[in-house]
Amino acid sequence: MESPKPAQHDKLVRIIQAFTKDTGDYATPIADLGLYRRNEPAPPKTCMVPPSIVFIAQGAKEMLVGGESYPYSPWRFLLTSVDLPANSAVIEASPEKPCLGFTYKLDLRVLAELVAQGGLPAMRERAATKSVGIGTVTESLLDPFERLLGLLEEPDAIPVLSPLLHREIHYRLLLSDQTAMLRQIAAIDSQGHRVAKAIDWLKLNYSTSFRVEELAARVQMSAPTFHHHFRHLTAMSPLQYQKWLRLSEAKRLMLNEHLDAASAAFHVGYESPSQFSREYARLFGSPPKRDIASLRSQAEESSASTLLSS
């Protein structure tokens, strides 16, 4: 298995530095590609990670899921196959040498097409039971990503070349050491694919009460089997997952839409504001009002710091 060339990482560092001026997450003109930069280490923060691959060009990060740690670096990539509630921490970063990287959302339709097309090597291991893994970065895997990020410097070529690279990237991922996880979620008749469909339903109906038995039937699984595979893939039960979705959406509504805690609670499906506040504090570490005030204060300080340094 060939290691990536130093020149590949050097080019990625140069491009990401050019398109990220300060700590933050950055959208790009390329569909499904995002860049990120962190100038200092940071403790774990709650986040929702979509099905995606996450690369680091410089520095180191760690994801925590269900009590397990998944550290990754320029030589190890992070892969998630379903929408996954997690905690993300920055391990290595400094203003002089920031943590730089990019995320690329997986296209499960393309993965399914490539698996159905055939011609992939036989798997040497049993199908994965988790939805997060750490893979080895190779020269052949990094190559299409290097060319994809290079398109940021050639914007007129993005509409023509990025769709071709999109398919190549998914093919290379199916040849990586994380192929078992990807094939599990791509196979239409697999348990993982059915759980992914249930997750899609929960994301659209997070404010609606439901019975696990009914959701299991919706994706053609028995309730015990569904519950078992759902927990294996997400490290939580379906009801815990819905609670996470509700609380995260409420946080967004308070922070971005300026709703008060009670209004946000009712909007996402809570009937009791006091229960909402207790569960919010349990997940995010502080009651809603204090947490949102702290986040706004941090944003103002960061904005002031950026203005002073510009």
Q: Could you tell me what percent of the chain has a pLDDT over 70?
A: 93
Give the Å distances, CA to CA, from 47 to 75, 77, 108, 186, 284. Answer: 23, 18, 21, 24, 10
| Residue 1 falls inside a structural domain | no
Residue-level pLDDT at 308 = 45
Q: Residue 261 pLDDT more than 80?
A: yes
pTM of the full predicted structure?
A: 0.84
Higher pLDDT, 126 or 20: 20
Q: Which of 206, 236, 266 is the last residue of a domain?
A: 236
Residue-level pLDDT at 187 = 79
Average pLDDT over residues 166-192: 88
One domain for residues 198 and 108: no
Higher pLDDT, 159 or 122: 159
Residue-level pLDDT at 124 = 60
One domain for residues 250 and 284: yes
Residue-level pLDDT at 158 = 97
Q: Residue 120 pLDDT more than 80?
A: no
One domain for residues 28 and 165: yes
| Weakest-pLDDT range from 79-83, 178-182, 204-208, 296-300 | 296-300
Average pLDDT over residues 242-258: 95
One domain for residues 249 and 229: no
Residue range 180-229, pLDDT digits in tens:
889 888 876 788 889 989 999 999 999 999 999 999 999 999 999 999 99
One domain for residues 200 and 87: no
Residue-level pLDDT at 2 = 73
Contacts of 302 (CB under 8 A, 6+ apart): 22, 23
Residue-level pLDDT at 310 = 47
Average pLDDT over residues 300-308: 55
Average pLDDT over residues 152-173: 96
Quickly state the pLDDT bin for 129 (edges 50, 70, 90): low
Average pLDDT over residues 109-127: 76
One domain for residues 211 and 297: no
One domain for residues 23 and 159: yes
Domain span holding position 202? 188-236
Q: Residue 40 pLDDT more than 50?
A: yes
Residue-level pLDDT at 278 = 96
Higher pLDDT, 107 or 128: 107
